[in-house]
Amino acid sequence: MSRLEAKKPSICRREPLTGERAGARLAALRGLLTSCYGPAGRLKQLHNGRGGPVAATSHSAALLAGLPVSHPVLKVLTAAVRNHVACFSDGGLFTAILCCNLVENVQRLGLTPTTVIRLNKHLLSLCTRYLKSEVCACRIPVDFGSTQILLSLVRSILTSKPACMLIAKEIDHISTLILKAFLLTIPENAQEHIILGKSIIVPLKGQRVIDSAVLPGILIEVSEVQLMKILPIKKSDSFKVAVFCVSLSGDLSDTGEGTLLVSYGVSLENAALDQLFNLGKQLVSDHVDLVLCQKVIHPSLKQFLRTHQIIAVDRIGVSLMEPLSKVTATVCSLLLCNRNDTAWDELKLTCQTALHALQLTVKEPYVLLGGGCTETHLVAYIRHKTRNEPESVLRDERCSQTELQLITEAFCSALESLAGSLEHDGGEVLTDGKYGHFWSVQANLPSAVNWPDLPSRCGCGLYSSQEELSWSFLRSAHHPFPPQTCLSHEAKGSANTLTLDCFTAKLSGLQVAVETASLILDLSCVIEDTN
């Protein structure tokens, strides 16, 4: 009867962001996401309190999928982040936190949305142009001649998900496996148009992480009894496989819209079975060794095949059929083990993220410096750029010098707080005055110690504090300086244990975050349909 009810009028709310409630909810969401960010991030336990599965995660996809969001503005934000993750697998938390920071920072300023949106767009294009340019010092071109950079990328992704519960040795092992699996999906004789193969992740629960492995080809689950009968396979020279995607159960397929009149005594089942046996005989005479069927094989045919030493496996399912049809191409199976179900789920998600990141890196052969260094470097670049060349902006965007400075500061501090949220243990975050990189030092240092000497390596691991660097606190007022552009060659070479981020995913995340923030700031009213 619900269909017949008249519709209730909607609720219309003006200025959805100015209310105290909205502000508090946004802050709550930001706090929740920030605490998950990075290798030292805290885990969140998701459960429904009614005996459902429990998940401990810090992965944005798992987190946002389970998080109930009621405020319409937050719905927009989470939807944007989830769509980004669906596209790129990586950089969800980055996008979400940056977007929250931007909205909150700009909201505080009280400028008109027009100015804010125009200038944010300008600053964004400043960032993307720099990141795509050759002089960019936080981008490293990928050398496919060695595995170093790719391995660092995979390791950084694994490290950033503490819910996988891996120790350093295990991380090394799994990283190698992931890279191997990825390399197995690249066709041998590749022409100009490469179609990557598939890597199937197979759960091996209850075994040690170190037991995880990569196998070329496909694994098909067979019951143990059947397996005992199959083994040992004597033949070694050639092994013929027949794959069927149609049902071999002998049922009658579509006979048309008219009527089918069957005379008394005529059995269509028998007729169909006859044909199945003919097929069986054909398979035997063709010396087929293995018959795979997506759907059901008739028990009599199965029996027939077994008596002729042909292995028959049915009900493969549609999900395995696609890689099966490509079996001659490039498919591999990644057997993953982990300590418990929750950790395994997180590890699987992380492996998929890493494989996806590798694919994206092949398309766009660059990686970005991780560990907060890209963010702090960008901040230094933007500050310097808007301070020293504001004329063109002021002319093009029709705004005042003060407005430009306010928005730039809001944008930069959003990026800085994002980098700063990598530090969860109360440590101090510093930035240097030469490269604009991210350095963190332990908390509660004895006052006698000269703290600037303490950080040994920057967030991404590219620079060490051996050089004479000037330090300043992140998020403290300091003079804008031109960060050193153009990565030096020795820096590229020393890329042993760098923390790296996927270039494509991060760049798109940056754009999505700024666009979504502009969208949210542009809202003048919310109409809620309460039906």
Partner 1 sequence: MAAAGSVAVALHVAEVLETIVSGCLGPEGRQVLCTKPTGEVLLSRDGGRLLKALHLEHPVARVMVACVSSHLRKTGDGAKTFIIFLCHLLRGLHEITDKEKDYFIFENIQTCGRHWKNCCQWKFISQALLTFQTQILDYIMDHYLSRHFLSIFSSCSKERTLCRSSLEMLLGAYFCGRVGRNHHNLISQLMCDYVFKCTACESRFEEVLEIVDDCFVELKVGVTGLPVSDSRIIAGLVLQRDFSVYCPADGDIRIAIVTETIQPLFSVSGSEFILNSEVQFQTSQLWITERTKAIVKHLQSQNVKLLLSTVKQPDLVIYCAGLNGISVVECLSSEELSLIQRVIGLAPFALPEASSQYELSHTALVEFCKPLILRSKRYVHLGLMSACSFTPHCVVLCGPVQGLIEQHEDALHGAFKMLRQVFKDLDLNYVTQTSDQNCTSGPCIYENSRENNELPKIVNSSIQRSYQDTVVKSKGELAKTQTNLKVCSNLIVPGVKLEKNVLCSGPKVAVTDSYQTEETLRCSSPNKGTIMDDHEPYIESNSGNSTTENTRREISYGNLQVTKLARKDSMLPLRYKSLKMCTSQRYYFSSIPAGCVLPVGGNFEILLHYYLLNYAKKCQQSEQTMVSRIIANALLGVPKILYKSKKGNYSFPQVYVRALQTLQTNQPMISNQTGLESVAGKYQLLTSVLQCLTNILTVDLVISIERQPREICDQDSEEEL
The residues that touch partner 1, with contacts defined as CB under 8 A, are 3-10, 12, 14, 16, 72-73, 75-76, 79-80, 83-88, 112-114, 117-118, 120-121, 245-246, 253-263, 266-268, 270-271, 274-275, 508, 511-512, 515-516, 518-519, 522-531
Residue 188, judged by CB atoms within 10 A of its CB (0-12, 13-18, 19+), counts as: exposed
Distance CA 404, CA 122 (A): 10
Query: 368: number of CA atoms within 13 Å, CB side?
Result: 31
Q: Looking at beta carbons only, is 124 or 310 nearer to partner 1?
A: 124
Q: Please report how close the Cβ of residue 365 comes to partner 1 at its closest, in angstroms.
A: 19
Q: Looking at beta carbons only, is 166 or 404 nearer to partner 1?
A: 404
CA nearest to 182, candidates 365, 367, 359: 359
Q: Looking at beta carbons only, is 215 or 272 nearer to partner 1?
A: 272
Report the sign of the C-alpha dihedral through residues 35, 37, 43, 48, in that order. positive
Q: Please report how close the Cβ of residue 382 comes to partner 1 at its closest, in angstroms.
A: 18
Within 10 Å of residue 250's Cβ, how many Cβ atoms? 20
Q: Please report how close the Cβ of residue 395 comes to partner 1 at its closest, in angstroms.
A: 17
Q: Please report how close the Cβ of residue 237 comes to partner 1 at its closest, in angstroms.
A: 28
Q: What is the dihedral of CA 161, 165, 171, 176, to 10 degrees?
A: -80
- What is the pairing mode between strands 44-46 and 55-57? antiparallel
Helix (H) or strand (E) holding 439: strand 438-441
Q: Please report how close the Cβ of residue 275 comes to partner 1 at its closest, in angstroms.
A: 6
Distance CA 281, CA 274 (A): 11
Q: Look up residue 185 and give its DSSP letter.
A: T
User: DSSP 3-state assignment of 415?
Assistant: helix
Q: Please report how close the Cβ of residue 504 comes to partner 1 at its closest, in angstroms.
A: 11
Q: Please report how close the Cβ of residue 136 comes to partner 1 at its closest, in angstroms.
A: 19
Q: Look up residue 204 and give its DSSP letter.
A: -
Q: Looking at beta carbons only, is 245 or 445 nearer to partner 1?
A: 245
Q: Looking at beta carbons only, is 72 or 203 nearer to partner 1?
A: 72
Q: What is the dihedral of CA 382, 73, 420, 126, to 10 degrees?
A: -10
Q: Please report how close the Cβ of residue 530 comes to partner 1 at its closest, in angstroms.
A: 7
Q: Supply the DSSP string of 246-258, one letter for each residue.
A: S-BS-------SS
Distance CA 426, CA 442 (A): 8
Q: Please report how close the Cβ of residue 266 comes to partner 1 at its closest, in angstroms.
A: 6
165 CB-near residues (< 8 Å, 6+ apart) = 338, 339, 343, 346
Q: Please report how close the Cβ of residue 70 comes to partner 1 at its closest, in angstroms.
A: 10
Q: Looking at beta carbons only, is 82 or 437 nearer to partner 1?
A: 82
Q: Looking at beta carbons only, is 191 or 466 nearer to partner 1?
A: 191
Distance CA 97, CA 506 (A): 13
Q: Looking at beta carbons only, is 88 or 438 nearer to partner 1?
A: 88
Q: Looking at beta carbons only, is 10 or 388 nearer to partner 1?
A: 10
Q: Looking at beta carbons only, is 225 or 527 nearer to partner 1?
A: 527
In the β-sheet with 331-336, what is the strand arrangement from edge to edge? 198-203, 331-336, 213-216
